[in-house]
Amino acid sequence: MDIEFPGGLRVDALQDGYRIRTDQPALTGGEGTAPSPFDLFLASIGTCAGYYALRFLQQRNLDTEGLAVKLTATPTDPGRHFRQVRIDVTLPPAFPEKYREAILRSMDQCTVKRHLVEPPAVEVTLNAPARPASSRRAEARLHRATPLHPVASSGPGRHWSSTRSPYSAGR
């Protein structure tokens, strides 16, 4: 998945030929042209649960007319984490009572929900942009200008080391 920045506070994701657009609400400085990333996160929970409910009915040739899913997120504080996400499912009128527990088990298989229950590690890495050739030449001049001092060695010949590389700071 690639992430692009088309302008303003808009951030888009490109996945398998689809462009998934996001924006921030006007209240927080965006233009409100698309759902926020967090809205999409909540939508992914609801649509995943809905998918499993729909497939459960379809695989048993049950009527899907009247099936509805509503997601409600209850925040701990405004602008903070949510303490609960509730998924309310309205079953079709002719839904057989014998399948009530089974459809709940099916919806528990939602991949998004399972990733919330057992979250993956999230790793962020920073990649430095390629430096222009002129910058690399200046770096090479600095490196050559670093004084070298002989170092004791157990092997034949002399070994040299700089007292401090100008590029080692912070690395």
Does 170 have pLDDT greater than 70?
A: no
Which residue has tokens 């401090």?
A: 164
Phi, psi of 59 (to 5 degrees): -65, -20
The one-letter code for the residue type at 140 is: A
pLDDT (0 to 100) of residue 69:
97
pLDDT (0 to 100) of residue 31:
97
What mean pLDDT is predicted for residues 81-99? 95
Q: What is the pLDDT of residues 140-163, one digit of tens each?
A: 555 454 444 444 444 444 444 434
pLDDT (0 to 100) of residue 131:
76
Domains and CATH numbers, the chain: 2-117 (3.30.300.20), 133-162 (no CATH)
List, as one string, the DSSP characters of 33-44.
SS--HHHHHHHH
Give the burial class of 87: count Cβ atoms within 10 A of its Cβ; 0-12 exposed, 13-18 middle, 19 or more buried.
middle
Does 72 have pLDDT greater than 80?
A: yes
pLDDT (0 to 100) of residue 75:
86
pLDDT (0 to 100) of residue 139:
58
The one-letter code for the residue type at 105 is: R
Q: What is the pLDDT of residues 7-62, one digit of tens each?
A: 999 999 999 999 999 999 999 999 999 999 999 999 999 999 999 999 999 999 99
pLDDT (0 to 100) of residue 81:
83
In this structure, are strands 148-151 and 82-90 parallel, antiparallel, or unpaired?
unpaired
Q: Is the pTM of this model over 0.75?
A: no
Portion of the chain with pLDDT greater than 90, in percent: 68
